[in-house]
Amino acid sequence: MKTFLRLFIAVLLLLVVWLPATANAVSKSVILSPFSITAPQSYAYLSKAVPATIQAGLNRPGVLEARPVQIKISSLAEARKARNAQHADYVVWGVVTVLGNECTVEVNSSDRDGKTWSKTGQGPVSGLTATVQNLAAALSSEALGLPGMAYAGQQGEGQMINRMNSDIVVNETGQQQVYLNPQFRYQGAWANDASRLRTQRLPNKMVDMAVGDFNGDGKNEIAVLGDHKLIIYAWSANGKLKPLGETVVSRSNLNFSMRAVDINRDGVKDLVIATYEQDSNRPYSYFYTFAGNKLAECAERVPYFASVVSTPPNFAPTLVGQGWDSIKLFAPDVRVMEKHGAKLTLGSRLDLPEGAKVFNICWLPGDKNSKGDQLVMLTDDERIKLFQGSGNTLIHTTIERFSGSATGMEHYKGMPGLDPDRNYQLPGKYYASMRLITADLGHTGEYVLLINKPISTASQLFDRYRYFPQGEIHALYWDGVGLALKWKTRRIRGSVASVDLADANNDGVLDLVVGLNTSPDLGVGSRQCMITAYPLDISQTNPNVPADLSDFEVTPNQ
């Protein structure tokens, strides 16, 4: 009995000593204030993103609780006041300065005893994530007295977090780490790692391409448009395209453009094909369905240029049309097309700036850094114009040229009532705009514009040279000043004919699909086409990486 009492008293004494120590360990807390930002407006989101990154590494259940507050701090006195008001043990605040491609981050802290700590890190904007994490680790060990911290996904020096598709270039500064988005995870390195899928060569030249479920079987097919033919393919398991159906759209007209939309509202995408008569450029647009694996017209052809545009505010794909003009080629207005039985007619007019056509416009939805939706328009000389507001105010025009389609209509400009003299006058040429794609690939609320950037030395000397031997797909975003490069593919050998965003091979992974025409070295008549796809696997995400940091390793230094 005496032995039991002695053991009981010893346990009580241990509890008396241990419990206060435990209470002290769990009672510590730290608050993080929004950081001050000295940088262009496009970097304003860093005010909350940087503290969020630091918070992710400081939280230690049962030891330290880190939480953000909305109190802005610019001095030690304000820091003490905020710490006392929040009943916290530590307060953290700081400053982020961006100058050109370089950034400086200053992190400060203060505790209840009045001890202060401060440290500054500097590096390129593209390496901001690493700079912030290094400062957070120093804060944890030097100011808070905690053991070394590690962010989710860090596995040791020299390894990369969420390696992106190796055929997409996002950082041209010579660094080894490249990212598409911290929420993306890519594995593999070069040509044999499935980072790029390629089909066999097809015997004809490609005018346009579309990917979608055209027969209603729940799987995507690939529609390839030639000068006169339309062929539907399925991407088979061995990587080859298997033809499912074929038709001649028009024997007299040349095919010009193809888009996909559900015209009949039956849940299956139909194909909208714009054609033109070669001598007069008069248009006819055709509408095809592939229901039941059989190509057939689902509406009567119309004497308009027809296409598909995703219009605000819901950005639903909308069938639009535009009339023909003997002088300017395109009539002034772009209108929504209305279906009445088997007939399609021009309806309400879209509010668009001068120069807008059914082929060369799209909307870039507004995000947290922009004031609203922006209208993107590809000009006749293939520069991008950006408009904003209800009055379509022009806010930006790119210097570089994009799209680079080889499909074009020759057009003789003349005076009203007078026929042009084709013996002496050289025709102008209007080239079809490639598909303008806007997408939120990382599901962060930030949209990018996907567009082809043709690359050729000869095209800089000869305006009509259109057989670009190489191209790159660029993802552009609005940075508050202009359209900046988010990421791009490696150079693609061949002349890019079309771009789409869909699961081409039905493996559950979204693909950036690129249609290519081969080099005309053997003669124009011998040109062939093929399709390559870049998987964009965003299923493997890291929930511990704040989404607001998605720009850190993405924006390249130009």
Q: Which amino acid is it at 57?
A: G
Q: Which amino acid is it at 116?
A: T
Distance, in Å, from the CA atom of 59 to the CA atom of 55, rounded to the nearest integer, reads 6
57 neighbors 140 (Cβ within 8 angstroms): yes
Contacts of 26 (CB under 8 A, 6+ apart): 62, 63
Q: Is the pTM of this model over 0.85?
A: no
The domain ranges of the chain are 28-144, 197-414+424-535
Name residue, tokens 């330290």: 64
- Tokens representing residue 466 in the block: 């259109």
Element (H, E) at 242: strand 241-248
Residue 158 Rama label (left phi>0; alpha psi -120 to 50; beta): left
Q: Please measure the distance between the N-terminal and C-terminal CA atoms of the chain and give it in whole angstroms.
A: 82
134 neighbors 107 (Cβ within 8 angstroms): no
pLDDT given at position 52: 85
Nearest CA to 107 out of 161, 183, 46 is that of 46
- Tokens representing residue 77 in the block: 């006195």
Distance, in Å, from the CA atom of 438 to the CA atom of 363, rounded to the nearest integer, reads 7
Element (H, E) at 404: none
Name residue, tokens 């006392």: 84
> What would the CATH number be for the domain defined by 28-144?
3.40.50.10070
Alpha-helical runs (H) found in 416-465: 458-461
Nearest CA to 95 out of 134, 121, 70 is that of 121
30 neighbors 90 (Cβ within 8 angstroms): yes
Burial class (CB in 10 A: 0-12, 13-18, 19+), 144: buried
pLDDT given at position 178: 43
Nearest CA to 506 out of 243, 191, 206, 217 is that of 217
pLDDT given at position 359: 96
Element (H, E) at 438: strand 437-439
- Tokens representing residue 20 in the block: 């206060």
**R_g over Cα of the chain:** 30
Question: Chain centroid to CA 198: how far?
Answer: 22
- Tokens representing residue 403 in the block: 């799209």
Q: Taking each helix axis from N to C terminus, what angle separates 46-58 and 128-138, rounded to the nearest 10 degrees?
A: 50
Distance, in Å, from the CA atom of 373 to the CA atom of 388, rounded to the nearest integer, reads 7
What is the 8-class DSSP label of residue 142?
I
Tens of pLDDT, residues 314-331: 899 999 999 999 888 999
Distance, in Å, from the CA atom of 447 to the CA atom of 443, rounded to the nearest integer, reads 9
pLDDT given at position 466: 67
Which CATH architecture is the domain 197-414+424-535 placed in? Answer: 6 Propeller (2.120)
pLDDT given at position 520: 57
Q: Which amino acid is it at 535?
A: P
487 neighbors 556 (Cβ within 8 angstroms): yes
Q: Do domains 28-144 and 197-414+424-535 have the same CATH topology?
A: no
Distance, in Å, from the CA atom of 517 to the CA atom of 434, rounded to the nearest integer, reads 14
The helix/strand/coil state of 133 is helix
488 neighbors 496 (Cβ within 8 angstroms): no
pLDDT by 10s per residue, the chain, length 558: 555 556 556 555 555 544 444 444 456 899 999 999 988 777 787 888 888 888 877 878 778 888 899 999 988 999 999 999 998 999 999 999 888 778 889 999 999 888 999 999 988 877 788 888 889 888 888 888 876 554 444 444 333 333 445 556 654 543 344 444 443 434 334 444 557 889 999 988 999 999 999 999 999 999 999 999 999 999 998 889 999 999 999 999 999 999 999 998 888 999 999 999 988 899 999 999 999 899 999 999 999 999 999 999 889 999 999 999 988 899 999 999 999 999 999 999 999 999 999 999 999 998 765 668 999 999 998 999 999 988 899 999 998 999 988 888 887 665 555 555 555 555 678 899 999 999 998 788 889 999 999 987 555 545 556 678 889 999 999 888 889 988 888 888 888 999 999 999 998 889 999 999 986 554 445 678 999 999 987 655 444 444 333 333 334 333
pLDDT given at position 464: 57
Omega prior to 61 cis, within 30 of 0? no
Tens of pLDDT, residues 344-366: 999 999 999 999 999 999 999 98
Angle at 183 between CA 177 and CA 189, to 5 degrees: 40
pLDDT given at position 475: 93
Please state, as a whole number, how many other Cβ atoms lie within 10 Å of the Cβ of residue 519. 16
Phi and psi at residue 222, in whole multiples of 5°?
A: -120, 120
